[in-house]
Amino acid sequence: MSDGVVKNTPRGRTRAVKDFLRKFLGYRGAQLGLLCLVFFLVLATVPNILVGPLETVANATGDFLVPPSGEHLLGTDEVGRDVLNLVIHGAQISLTIALLATVISLIVGTTVGMTAGYYGGRVDVWLMRLTDFFFVMPSFVLALVITPVVLEVMGRGGDILGIRPSLFVIIVVIGMTSWAFVARVVRSQTLSLKERTFIDRARVAGSSNLSIMVRHILPNVVPQIAANGALVVAGAIYVETSLSFLGLGDPLQPSWGTLLAQAQRAGAASAGAWWYLGAPGVCVLMVSLSFVLIGNALDDTFNPRRRVIP
């Protein structure tokens, strides 16, 4: 294809991947973000190996709000649980919620944006008005309003797809309220791509609209989806942390937001227990910053006009 789009030959794809990795990894922000992200992914993947099972009130030591020491590297909480144990197990919950919510967000945003851009007309108008609503309304506000309502309607019964109901609802709500920006980006790219010569050739060859969108347009909007997806993850982490901090998380599977809420209720700030508030807070900041750095590096890599010397 001569339109500057994804080449479908194996050699062309291999060369494109190598060129992308060389440029992407050339950014210091990408290197730092990936290093930090891999660190937290390891923590989230094998928490039992690193710190043992999740500590509960029943097996707490009884050492209340003990500062960091050789025995407790990040101190203890108000009931004597090891904060390092809670933070590492909380990484698994926070990252799982953020990543699954992002997958939902990207699927919805890509579908809406590609459909609106390709079909145009009234379809575009109605879908973009819906997108505008979600775009101007902060996702946290929508999630804050919707989450307790959905939890009340669904109840807190058995697990859904292996996920506790409260966590499942938070994942779906965050995903369904944070797709608007992705839809706008995908639509703008689709409007440009559908006028290219290779799309006309596909129509002449008898390809259906669905086939054209999936086989020809989607591969060429993946770079924009990936770059914006990293930023969506960062936003999802903040929304999840905020919802859990306000009491909408699952206390039986504590995330970083739940730990911050427990620290606040225990009066950690007034008691000088900075480790209790600081540990989960720093984790949220570092993971969010990692995804922002990765997203910016991806955007610079895919968009030469924004590229600067690293």
Burial of 278 (0-12, 13-18, 19+ CB in 10 A): middle
CB 230 within 8 A of CB 299: no
Q: Which residue has the tokens 């922002």?
A: 292
Within a domain: residue 64?
no
pLDDT of residue 163: 59
Q: Nearest to residue 220, comparing CAs of 242, 189, 198?
A: 189
pLDDT of residue 61: 67
The phi, psi pair for 266, rounded to 5°, reads -80, -5
Burial of 182 (0-12, 13-18, 19+ CB in 10 A): buried
pLDDT of residue 8: 55
Question: Which domain CATH number covers 94?
Answer: 1.10.3720.10
Within a domain: residue 73?
no
Q: Please give the residue range of the domain that contains residue 244.
A: 27-51+84-306
Burial of 149 (0-12, 13-18, 19+ CB in 10 A): exposed
CA distance 79 to 265: 12
Q: 147: number of CA atoms within 13 Å, CB side? A: 28
Listed in sequence order, the residues at least 6 apart from 219 whose beta carbon sits closer than 8 Å to its beta carbon are 5, 6
Within a domain: residue 199?
yes
CA–CA distance from 124 to each of 129, 184, 202 (Å)?
8, 11, 22
Within a domain: residue 275?
yes
Q: Nearest to residue 13, comparing CAs of 214, 212, 220, 301?
A: 220
* Number of domains the chain is built from: 1
Q: Whole-prediction pTM value?
A: 0.84
CA distance 87 to 67: 15
Within a domain: residue 140?
yes
pLDDT of residue 3: 47
Within a domain: residue 75?
no
Listed in sequence order, the residues at least 6 apart from 56 whose beta carbon sits closer than 8 Å to its beta carbon are 81
CB 46 within 8 A of CB 53: no
pLDDT of residue 182: 92
- Tens-digit pLDDT profile for the chain (310 aa)? 444 454 556 666 677 778 888 888 888 988 999 999 999 999 999 988 888 888 887 666 667 888 998 888 998 888 888 999 999 999 999 999 999 999 999 999 999 999 999 998 899 999 999 999 888 887 788 888 887 777 777 655 555 555 566 788 888 888 988 899 999 999 999 998 888 888 888 888 888 889 999 988 998 898 889 888 888 998 889 888 988 888 887 777 789 999 999 999 888 888 889 999 999 999 999 999 999 999 888 888 887 665 544 4
CA distance 143 to 6: 37
What does the chain come to in residues?
310
Within a domain: residue 39?
yes
Within a domain: residue 101?
yes
